Amino acid sequence: MYYEEDNGTTSFVAGLLIGAIIGASVALLTAPQSGRKTRRRLLKAVSTARDSASGRFDDLADDVRSAVETGRKRIRL
């Protein structure tokens, strides 16, 4: 059976998502503000986390494309 090497990116993203969910839950349970303010802050935090994850996925896609292109060049030599 063939297994690809894991460079830790998948584990990092999974940890990031789990941490975001746990953090949001704790924030909701301990928030001293009104529901409206808490929801706004939570939406902003989720948006920031989503943008960060999106940027990391874009970087990963660029790295994969670069590695594939490098591999193609080596095969052609």
Query: What are the pLDDT digits (tens) for 8-61?
Result: 777 788 888 888 888 877 877 777 777 788 788 878 888 888 888 888 888 888
The answer to whether position 29 is within a domain reads yes
- Find all residues with CB under 8 Å of 41, minimum gap 6, and list them: 27, 31, 33
Expressed as residue numbers, the domain containing 35 is 9-76
- The answer to the question of residue 4 being in a domain is no
Q: How many domains does the chain have?
A: 1
Whether 68 is covered by a domain: the verdict is yes
The answer to whether position 34 is within a domain reads yes
Under DSSP, the state recorded for 31 is -
User: Measured between alpha carbons, how far is 33 from 22 in angstroms, rounded to an integer?
Assistant: 19
Asked if the structure places residue 1 within a domain, the reply is no
**What pTM value is reported for the model?**
0.43
Specify if 46 maps to a domain.
yes
Backbone Cα Rg of the chain: 19
